[in-house]
Amino acid sequence: MRVLVVVLLVALASACRPTDLPSGIDAVAHDYVVLALAAGRHDPDFVDAWYGPDDLKARADADTRGPAELREAARALRVYLGTLPVSDEPLDQLRRRYLDRQLGAMVTRLGMVLGEALPFDEETARLYDAVAPQPDIERYERALAEIEALVPGPGPIAERVEAMHRRFVIPPERLATVFGRAIAECRTRTLARIELPEHERFTIEFVTDKPWSGYNWYHGDAYSLIQINTDLPIFIGRAIDLGCHEGYPGHHAYNVLLESELAQGNGWVEFTLYALFSPQSLVAEGSANYGIDIAFPDGEYYAFEEQVLMPLAGLDTAEAVRYRALREALKRLDDAGNAAARRYLDGSFSRADAVEWLVRYTLVSPERAAQRVDFFDKYRGYVINYNLGRDMVRRYIECGADSAPQRWQRFAELLGSPRL
Ligand SMILES: [Zn+2]
């Protein structure tokens, strides 16, 4: 019976399609893009980047279906995809898996648009194909004790950490110079290891009133608009971090490679669209954060910051070594925000509780914690992609890659592949 249904579905699908239109998995890819664009009319954050063919946009614009009908269509398309024969080629298998998982996430997100509430872990499992570990309070407490010793003195520890950060704020009038130099270095280091099309380029804008600290808006044709939020003072460490994360070898390099390798190289139209609430974001955010470590390994991060960026920012480097130790220790708290998001979105934390947790376990100021909770409100379980994604990408890259050239090669292959 099942075989018969499959045969009928395939026969029906091929009977309905004139021969000059894409067929098989290419047809699924086209329909996926149209559904994603149509979903974007009901959820303004759904489509993060799009630079595909105009005829697909026209099809989506003419699609008047509501979220419930689009969700049914996504479900049906996923079933149909499962009936298609697939070759043994690893790349073809990865492509099918990509479309399958992206469609699954679309079904879930459209359900959320329709008002369905999911527990935090179920939401992240369905949208990002990943679940963050439970918080390790003992590890956080050990890190807090170590940090306490690095910032001695009276007052709450978070305030002392904030006071240390404030010695390393980039003056607003030097932001453009410092960020320009940082991203140029990230780019040089990346281009030495990964080949990108010659016309790849970006611009940086400084903006305000956003729930994020930086954003990459990919426009296609190898161009990114990178925005940096200046609502709160920007510490020197953000220069390399955002230069790598939003630029090279992070989001900009990832998008450029997806475009040149998969969208143009293979003619795979699904890669002309980036659906934000999807497993692709685990790879995007994870690789963007891991990109900092691969571009500035070992002591190179602090060496470049202290020798080049701090003087450019006009900062006193006398305390730089102590600041370095503090930031290394703070890294051990960098997944503590997941627990705040989980408890807040699952309803066991009020907004005030979430801010308090973030101040206690991530040692940020109340203002920065409040900005973080704004992020939870808008992007929900997306928060896990940054740290869990980084850890997963790190394990994937470093397993079987012992040298820097091997790690870069594996990293470049990941960025230019449909792997989730
Ligand atoms: Zn990002």
Instruction: State pLDDT tens for residues 157-168.
Output: 999 999 999 999
Quick: pLDDT tens for 68-85: 999 999 999 999 999 999
Picking from 64, 95, 116, the residue at the C-terminal end of a domain is 116
- Do 71 and 187 lie in one domain? The reply is no
Quick: pLDDT tens for 356-410: 999 999 999 999 999 999 999 999 999 999 999 999 999 999 997 889 999 999 9
Q: What angle do CA 214, 218, 223 make, to 5 degrees?
A: 110
Q: What angle do CA 93, 96, 99 make, to 5 degrees?
A: 150
For residue 70, the cross-strand partners are none
**SS3 state of residue 204:** strand
Flag whether 259 is in a domain.
yes
Q: What integer best gives the mean pLDDT of the chain?
A: 93
Helix-helix angle 336-345:366-379, to 10 degrees: 60
- What is the Å distance from ligand 1's center to 374 Cα? 16
- Do 171 and 285 lie in one domain? The reply is yes
* In contact, 270 and 32? CB cutoff 8 Å: yes
Amino acid at 34: V
Flag whether 218 is in a domain.
no
Give the separation between CA 230 and CA 225, rounded to whole angstroms. 16
Picking from 97, 116, 135, the residue at the C-terminal end of a domain is 116
- Do 54 and 167 lie in one domain? The reply is no
- What is the Å distance from ligand 1's center to 379 Cα? 12
Flag whether 216 is in a domain.
no
With tokens 């979430």, the residue in question is 354
Quick: pLDDT tens for 38-79: 999 999 999 999 999 999 999 999 999 999 999 999 999 999
- Do 179 and 105 lie in one domain? The reply is no
- What is the Å distance from ligand 1's center to 30 Cα? 26
- What is the Å distance from ligand 1's center to 62 Cα? 32
Flag whether 226 is in a domain.
no
- What is the Å distance from ligand 1's center to 264 Cα? 23
- What is the Å distance from ligand 1's center to 215 Cα? 6
- What is the Å distance from ligand 1's center to 217 Cα? 10
- What is the Å distance from ligand 1's center to 63 Cα? 30
147-167 as b/e, with b when 16 or more CB fall inside 10 Å? beebbeeeeebbbbbbebbee
- What is the Å distance from ligand 1's center to 141 Cα? 28
Flag whether 176 is in a domain.
yes
Question: Please, is 141 exposed, middle or buried when counting C-beta atoms within 10 Å of its C-beta (0-12, 13-18, 19+)?
Answer: exposed
- Do 151 and 81 lie in one domain? The reply is no
Flag whether 171 is in a domain.
yes
- What is the Å distance from ligand 1's center to 7 Cα? 42
* In contact, 204 and 229? CB cutoff 8 Å: no
Instruction: Report if pTM > 0.75.
Output: yes
Percent of the chain with pLDDT over 70: 95
Mean pLDDT of 303-309: 98
Q: Is the pLDDT at 104 greater than 90, yes or no?
A: yes
For residue 86, name the pLDDT band (cuts at 50, 70, 90): confident
- What is the Å distance from ligand 1's center to 8 Cα? 43
For residue 227, the cross-strand partners are 205, 215
- What is the Å distance from ligand 1's center to 94 Cα? 23
Task: Identify the pLDDT of residue 205.
Answer: 97
Q: Is the pLDDT at 1 greater than 80, yes or no?
A: no
With tokens 């489509």, the residue in question is 47
Give the separation between CA 44 and CA 336, rounded to whole angstroms. 29
- Do 68 and 170 lie in one domain? The reply is no
- What is the Å distance from ligand 1's center to 389 Cα? 11
Q: Nearest CA to 270 among 14, 17, 26, 24? A: 26
Task: Identify the pLDDT of residue 18.
Answer: 43
- What is the Å distance from ligand 1's center to 73 Cα? 30
- What is the Å distance from ligand 1's center to 322 Cα? 28
* In contact, 224 and 257? CB cutoff 8 Å: no
The parent domain of residue 54 ranges over: 2-116
- What is the Å distance from ligand 1's center to 82 Cα? 31
What is the tally of helices (H) and strands (E) in the chain? 20, 5
- What is the Å distance from ligand 1's center to 277 Cα? 13
Give the separation between CA 356 and CA 137, rounded to whole angstroms. 15
- Do 184 and 302 lie in one domain? The reply is yes
In whole angstroms, what separates CA 299 from the centre of its chain?
25
Mean pLDDT of 158-187: 97
- What is the Å distance from ligand 1's center to 328 Cα? 21
- Do 111 and 26 lie in one domain? The reply is yes
**SS3 state of residue 273:** strand
- What is the Å distance from ligand 1's center to 306 Cα? 25
Give the separation between CA 244 and CA 151, rounded to whole angstroms. 28
- Do 398 and 356 lie in one domain? The reply is yes
- What is the Å distance from ligand 1's center to 46 Cα? 15
Question: Into how many domains does the chain fold?
Answer: 2
- What is the Å distance from ligand 1's center to 34 Cα? 25
- What is the Å distance from ligand 1's center to 216 Cα? 7
- Do 338 and 250 lie in one domain? The reply is yes
- What is the Å distance from ligand 1's center to 251 Cα? 7
- Do 107 and 151 lie in one domain? The reply is no
- Do 187 and 96 lie in one domain? The reply is no
- What is the Å distance from ligand 1's center to 339 Cα? 20
Flag whether 127 is in a domain.
no
Question: Please, is 129 exposed, middle or buried when counting C-beta atoms within 10 Å of its C-beta (0-12, 13-18, 19+)?
Answer: middle
Flag whether 385 is in a domain.
yes
